[in-house]
Amino acid sequence: MSLTDSKIRVTKPSATPFKLTDSQGLYPLINPGGSRLWYLKYRFNGKESRIT
């Protein structure tokens, strides 16, 4: 599933933070206040990590 600009814009915040994921590890974390933090999840030497 791919993320689109319109899909991200119309998403409303909820009471708890949640993710909208794509198939490549990129996702915005949508907080209750409406802010969006972007993360990229990756693996290096078998260890999973993420960058903002």
Please tell me the pTM assigned to this model. 0.79
Give the chain's domains with CATH numbers: 5-51 (3.30.160.390)
Q: How far apart are CA 19 and CA 27, in angstroms?
A: 6
Q: How far apart are CA 34 and CA 6, in angstroms?
A: 15
- Give the closest residue to 7 by CA, choosing from 16, 21, 45, 51: 21
Average pLDDT over residues 26-51: 96
pLDDT band at residue 1, thresholds of 50, 70 and 90?
low
Q: How far apart are CA 8 and CA 36, in angstroms?
A: 9
Average pLDDT over residues 14-30: 93
Average pLDDT over residues 21-42: 94
pLDDT band at residue 26, thresholds of 50, 70 and 90?
very high
By CB neighbour count within 10 A (0-12 exposed, 13-18 middle, 19+ buried), where does 9 fall? exposed
